[in-house]
Amino acid sequence: MSHYARYAVRLAKQAGDIIKKDFTTVMEKSWKADGTPLTKTDLSVNRLVLDSVRTTFPDHSILSEEGNDFREASEFVWVCDPLDGTIPFSHGIPVCAFSLALVHNGESILGVVYDPFMDRMFVAEKGKGAFLNGKKISVSSQRTFKHALFSVVHWNGAPFDFSRTATVLKNEGARISNVSISYMGALVAAGAFAGTIFPGDQPNDTAAVKVLVEEAGGKVTDIFGDERHYDRPIKGHVASNGVLHSKLLALIIETLPEHQKGGTT
């Protein structure tokens, strides 16, 4: 394990300690402009990441969902979602994850996703495989939508509307489960999910998933099948076991609203 990976795992454990300490069944929250909740835990973990990276790697940038320290000239960027799954967490449901990736010149080279409640640490480094609590993991061999498990995220105002995509998948016998984008992506790497489809344009939830899934034998692209840089906006995100990837992409384009089929800027 590289020194970057060891550092990321330590930081994930520290973030997990904050998440567990703050967890209660009744939690105060505010609301962001997009209508999603924000808790003090989001901000506390975000502050931990900002302070830690600035101290340990002063030449690196940070791109985080709750506050950045981003410099265009940085060769290395840490991309973070401090609390992925704020909605269930803020309602007293202990299902969430801390997500952290190291991006080098736009390419995800390290991904860590940590579930502090189950103590499940997913780690992958470019060219070194993907692991869950030290055990090597791999994607599923599922070849059809029927009985496969997917995460298909959609919300009002998202850059891409996957509501019809989810309906068609269900009609073909697939099962849909949504909680935390990065966690569901890590579970694609572990073979539990066949794929995840994300409609957003920010890489915070997906940069770690990119390397985790690919190192586990799967495939990750934007929704148009293109490779993306994960230190800048993306055009949605599809992570799969690889076998179903082209089929998923075709379904997405078929079911997208016409005005979204050309992508976004």
| Binding-site residue set for Mg(2+) | 65, 81, 83-84, 205
**Pick from 172, 169, 191: nearest CA to 255:** 169
**Residues sharing a CB contact under 8 Å with residue 13, sequence separation 6 or more, in sequence order:** 114, 121
Identity of the amino acid at 129: G
Question: Which residues fall in the annotated binding site?
Answer: 65, 81, 83-84, 205
Q: How far apart are CA 77 and CA 57, in angstroms?
A: 10
SS (H, E, C) 154-202: CCCCCCCCCHHHHHHHHHCCCEECCCCHHHHHHHHHCCCCCEEEECCCC
191: its two tokens: 């073979």
61: its two tokens: 């940038």
Taken as a whole, the chain contains a residue count of 265
For the chain, the first-to-last Cα distance in angstroms comes to 37
Q: How far apart are CA 108 and CA 89, in angstroms?
A: 27
- CB count within 10 Å of CB 105 equals 11
**β-strand partners of 238:** 197, 221
**β-strand partners of 209:** none
Q: Which helix (H) or strand (E) holds 101?
A: strand 97-104
